[in-house]
Structure 1
Amino acid sequence: MRVSNNLVGLLNFITFLLSIPILVAGIWLSKQGSTECEKFLEKPVIVLGVFLMVVSLAGLVGACCRVSWLLWIYLLVMFLLIVILFAFTIFAFVVTNKGAGKVLSDRGYKEYRLGDYSNWLQNRVNNTKNWNKIKSCLIDSKVCSSFEDKYVNDTVQQFYTENLSALQSGCCKPSDECGFTYVKPTEWTKTANSTTANPDCDLWGNELKTLCFNCQSCKAGLLDNLKNDWKKVAIVNIIFLVFLIIVYSVGCCAFRNNRRDNSYWKN
């Protein structure tokens, strides 16, 4: 058996082993998941696990047992995966190219405006159905509860110097434009003489399940967080893309070996 066949078989055997815990994790989430976040994750995880298992089996059997048609299907799927991954990487860089937090004078944190981000991302979070699911996830993950616990003993001056994350700044406190009076990190007193045109000020509520979760600033904070995550994912995708191209090239050699061997045995 040729070196390329052995290598493709080994790589797909490792991938098959990795697909098992992924599939088990997806099934576990479907049985144990109680929050909207966990329910949202279960299907993609199961699909990913099944996909990796089927593709790796096709590559393993095709390469090691000289089944050319299985290896051909494997290479076709790999080619489509490379194209999709390349397109997604370019797309991720394009949609995350816009948007950044606004630096405030005498503040350790930034504030975020939804209009600063790409229209495609804005449309995703402005969809009521999408945002209700996201908001449920943010509440379930206790982003603002842990935020309150961490800074509960801060005076107003100490709080203003804290380096808050985009989600904490956008979802867990009102905008500085509102001019509310600080009581504690998640409790602010509305002022009657506020003349700001920022609609987020009317949406603020001191209840932990309300706060600024319906605000534009919260959506912007989420997009800023998503933007940074997508850029990291895009960089990982580039590395993975190079790996896939190498595996695809080795797979092509294995496919060519299979055809030669099959022709030899026929003759």
Structure 2
Amino acid sequence: MDFIKTTEQDSNYNNLEKMTINEIISNINKEDKTVPLAVEKALPQIEALIDQVVTKLKQGGRLFYIGAGTSGRLGILDASECPPTFGVSHNLVIGLIAGGDSAIRKAVENAEDSTLQGWQNLQDYNVSTKDIVIGIAASGTTPYVVHALKKCNEESIITGCITCNKNSPLSLVAQFPIEVIVGPEFLTGSSRMKAGTAQKLVLNMITTTTMIQLKKVKGNKMVDMQLSNNKLVDRGIKMIMNELNVSQEEASKLLQEHKSVRQSIIYGRK
């Protein structure tokens, strides 16, 4: 089957500059509504990849995201949320972007076209067969990502991907591909829109499900979260109050003593 890059196809809308603000945002919203349905169709692929991630992390491995541009930034965003949300090490989920950390804020020219840099960036972290690497690219053609995964395969490292085109080079190289087919963007080729939203939804699923499977959640609460600001301390106190049926004063005292919602609950039960 020929590879068709639907993310680059012409928008279903034209003469955007002649639309009113209301028409523009209504049409963007209309397109955005289709994204969760596209993700739903990919749930079997998402489940298969998460199963691999959980297995690797339970065995002491790490999860790497690797991407360029918007895709790279989304991977870094998801990775950076794991330590504060689930209390895990910053070295458990690692996001890499073509062009390095400066590319998070400002595009680095031609960085995504390198066929060597992706693997070099992974080697900086001593990537090994214990780990799992997920390439993120809306187009599914980004050389930085595709070639990094090819090298991972050669080194017997499990690979997955998140892309928004069917049968892309990235899908074909990844052992566990996720393809969320969102179709043409409202603004032709602007894959930070529907494709970016789809990638964010899938990334939410991957880390949240993985951390639940790794017992980093109790009931429906983030009991291992980092208590890094007043809002989170207040949330932690409420969790302890509800779990142990104690006063705010007692919950606060437990939290001050144990510096962890989980440990406060464990100690409070004794």
Same fold (TM over 0.5): no
Name which one, 1 or 2, has greater alpha-carbon Rg.
1
* TM-score (normalizing by structure 2): 0.26
More helix by share: 1
* TM-score (normalizing by structure 1): 0.27
More strand by share: 2
